[in-house]
Amino acid sequence: MKRGISASIFAACVFLVGASPTSRAQNNELEVKGRVDPSKAVPISLSGFTGDAEAVLKFDLYVAGFEFVGSDKAKFTVTGSNNGELTGRLLDAQKNQLFGQKYSGGSIRQQAHAFADDLLKQIYGQKMKIFSSKIAYKVEKGSTQEVGVSDFDGNNATLITRDGSLVSSPAWVPGTRRLIYASWKSGGPFLLQQDLTSGARDILSSQPGSNHSPSVSPDGKRVAFILSKDGNPELYVMGIDGSGLKRLTTTKEDEASPCWSPDGQTICFSSRYGGRPTLHQVSASGGAMRRMNVVGVANQTEPDWSPDGKTIVFTAQMGSFQVCTVPATGGSAVPLVEGEDPVWGANSRVVMFTKRVGGQRTLSLLDVPTKHVKDLPRLSGSCSQPAWAR
């Protein structure tokens, strides 16, 4: 049974700042998908844009696997203008226009993000809009921690809690403007669910012991989390309303960091069963846990399953923390970059992760095929544990 608690803050949420941009096609779209190898950096030239529009397009396209070259070496030319509204065009190497669109409404940054999303649709055949998406994360300031939310690139950042307490592991409820996270505000830690439109929040789970590491199923109906009410931390699942609590593991060791397969049938998590932390899988409806065969790296934690179902990204500790990938069926791990807390974007290509820099933590973006990395420059405080809305 949920118990309401006071939402002590709630200024205007970032979701409500400005209107979403609208677009008008300038010509019939031509099929572009298949003209590029998505595993390699795509050479493009960029011209005509200024200020925030130019900065947004350079940021977005770089983290999506593009490299900027002169027009004589470009496979595609991205050109246009921005003066109140944004006009964008995509040309091929022969200067034939493949796509054109005008964007109005919202901010110039929103218009540029919308154009970048459309470019990925045209070039990669990607339908999801990652550049127009939101992220949540933990912010540390001194001895306290809060939950922050921003655009995917760190702009329009705001705190959705001001409790002066501790928090961890924010998780989006897919397709909604709701977050679930662990909070120490009233003891606990307990799981809280917060509506980012109204600011209202409820206690979702306040079982004895620790309630933490929530992960919401792709259909938004269930929550996997770690609960220690029976002693050591075990993996549980329950309904999004807190009903139907079910225990999935029964080990004497610690379980941690659950994530869901895209079909909602399987949960991947880290367990110390047998010694050092390794990745395991278990049916979301119950059954025996199965250790994944992950070759080449040790101390495997913090898994996240790609939306296309093919790959799991996770953290390995081998002297330093490393972001790695492994096929969802198991196999050889591929270390990608130094960091931790990895999470996939909706396109199953870009990963957000935490980087440690000079005693602080900052959020960064990694394009897995090209290894392009960009830090999020506009977030204040020490930021970690990112969650990317889908």
Q: What is the pLDDT of residues 66-104, one digit of tens each?
A: 999 999 999 999 999 999 899 999 999 999 999 999 999
Number of helical (H) and strand (E) elements in the chain, helices listed first: 2, 33
Task: Write down the domain spans for the chain.
Answer: 15-124, 134-388
**Rounded Cα–Cα distance for residues 57 and 211 (Å):** 41
Identify the CATH assignment for 15-124 out of 3.40.50, 1.20.120, 3.30.160, 3.30.2000. Answer: 3.30.160
Name the token pair of 105.
């409404």
Distance of CA 121 to CAs 28, 131, 235, Å?
14, 12, 38
How would you label 204-213 residue by residue, b for 16+ Cβ within 10 Å and e otherwise?
Answer: bbbbebbbbb
**Rounded Cα–Cα distance for residues 271 and 252 (Å):** 10
- Would you say residue 14 has pLDDT above 80? no
**Rounded Cα–Cα distance for residues 224 and 233 (Å):** 13
Identify the CATH assignment for 134-388 out of 3.30.420.40, 2.120.10.30, 3.90.1150.10, 3.30.70.20. Answer: 2.120.10.30
Three-state secondary-structure class, residue 245: coil
Q: pTM to 2 decimals?
A: 0.91
pLDDT in tens, 200-246: 999 999 999 999 999 999 999 999 999 999 889 999 999 999 999 99
Name the token pair of 119.
């470019």
Name the token pair of 21.
């941009």
Which distant-in-sequence residues (6+ apart) come within 8 Å of 211 by Cβ?
182, 188, 189, 190, 191, 205, 225, 226, 227
